[in-house]
Amino acid sequence: MAPPVNRRTGYSRRAQFGTFIGYVAGVAGAVVGGWFLVSAVSNQTSYSWLRSAAGDVTAPVGAAASGLRGGMATAAETVAGYATWGTENARLKREVAFARIHAAEDAGIRAENLRLKALLGLATQNPKPVANAWLIASTATSLRRFATISAGRAEGVQSGMPVRTAQGLIGRVLEVGTVSARVLLLTDTESVVPVRRAVDGTPAFATGRGDGTLQIRLLTLGLNPLHRGDAFLASGSGGIYWPGTPIAVVTALTHDGAVAQVLADPADSEAVTVQPAWDPVEDATLPPPTPTVPPPPAAKPRSKIKKAGKPGLITTLIGKVTGTGTPPAAPAPAPAHHP
């Protein structure tokens, strides 16, 4: 049992003032905190430099922890693997047999795709990565979902750039420090990504739910056309996220959309790639505008969907496909393929 603290200061003026000033400072701390809080809520970007500086200072610790985290995950998987290796082995053999057949089919499809793209003058949509980095920390206690990556302004990372792993998108850069950056994860409720269904291009928005899943909201109301297992990709409308980046797979249906599981779980992807923000206006993958009639600046196409709706462009495209097969007039040089 802890003895009570002697709260009496006696006749010492110094002790009395010390205690008094301590309480004044305590109340002042609460007031200052409240003031910081009000200014931070009213302007979300305030104090970001402080957070960035703190992220830079602790980046080495996070990088060390990131290696440890990967090691722990691998060790756990190794131990767990001993229990299931028999059935796992048999299943994998079956899967490999099927996968080999599919791989042959895919090779054919890929070749055809390349040929058709060359015919249309479309370049591959793989941007040159800005930086490769490690995920070094995440806000594991707050309702907000942020992560810190080990690349910052020194590597050319800028606010707004999408961040992805090999499996798919995990978020976009929010605040940039010198050697670290803060990423708004897809699962944060403030994150909204325009997506389309992989099979038919049904447009939707994917919003975070804060618990590791996404809410898919359809743009069109009416009968819910979604099914469990539907995959969604970034549509690229509005810029930022590169079209075709894998986002999520539907796990449960709701009355106006679906709940989807994120494909690139940040919990088991340590290495991430920072991509340049996609700008559909300056995109080299789109066909060039008609040279004779310069479009008015207000009607400048912002997205592929809008652009495809323009009759002039469609006829241009058809003309190219059905023409003699000459390469189109002025597509930008195709960027090198970066897997």
Q: Which residues bind another protein (CB under 8 A)?
A: 1-2, 4-5, 7, 22-23, 25-30, 32-41, 44, 46-47, 50-51, 54, 58, 61-62, 65, 69, 135-148, 185, 187-190, 208-212, 262, 265-267
Question: Given the complex with another protein, which of 27 and 336 has the nearer CB atom?
Answer: 27
CB of 140 to another protein, least distance (A): 4
Question: Given the complex with another protein, which of 2 and 199 has the nearer CB atom?
Answer: 2
With helix as H, strand as E and coil as C, how does 72-134 read?
Answer: HHHHHHHHHHHHHHHHHHHHHHHHHHHHHHHHHHHHHHHHHHHHHHHHHCCCCCCCCCCEEEE
Structure tokens at 127: 């941007």
Question: Given the complex with another protein, which of 56 and 301 has the nearer CB atom?
Answer: 56
CB of 208 to another protein, least distance (A): 8
Question: Given the complex with another protein, which of 40 and 107 has the nearer CB atom?
Answer: 40
End-to-end CA, the chain: 64
3-class secondary-structure state, position 215: strand
Is residue 187 within 8 Å of 170, Cβ to Cβ?
no
How is 6-59 classified by DSSP, letter by letter?
----TT-HHHHHHHHHHHHHHHHHHHHHHHHHHHHHH-TTTTHHHHHHHHHHHH
Question: What distance in Å separates the CA atoms of residue 60 and residue 98, rounded to the nearest whole number?
Answer: 44
CB of 162 to another protein, least distance (A): 17
CB of 24 to another protein, least distance (A): 8
Query: Exposed, middle or buried: residue 139 (CB in 10 Å: 0-12, 13-18, 19+)?
Result: middle
CB of 159 to another protein, least distance (A): 17
Question: Given the complex with another protein, which of 17 and 35 has the nearer CB atom?
Answer: 35
Question: Given the complex with another protein, which of 68 and 298 has the nearer CB atom?
Answer: 68
Question: Given the complex with another protein, which of 52 and 202 has the nearer CB atom?
Answer: 52
CB of 17 to another protein, least distance (A): 14
Picking from 216, 59, 18, 246, the residue whose alpha carbon sits closest to that of residue 147 is 59
CB of 9 to another protein, least distance (A): 12
Q: What is the per-residue burial (b if ≥16 Cβ within 10 Å, else e) of 288-298?
A: ebeeeeeeeee
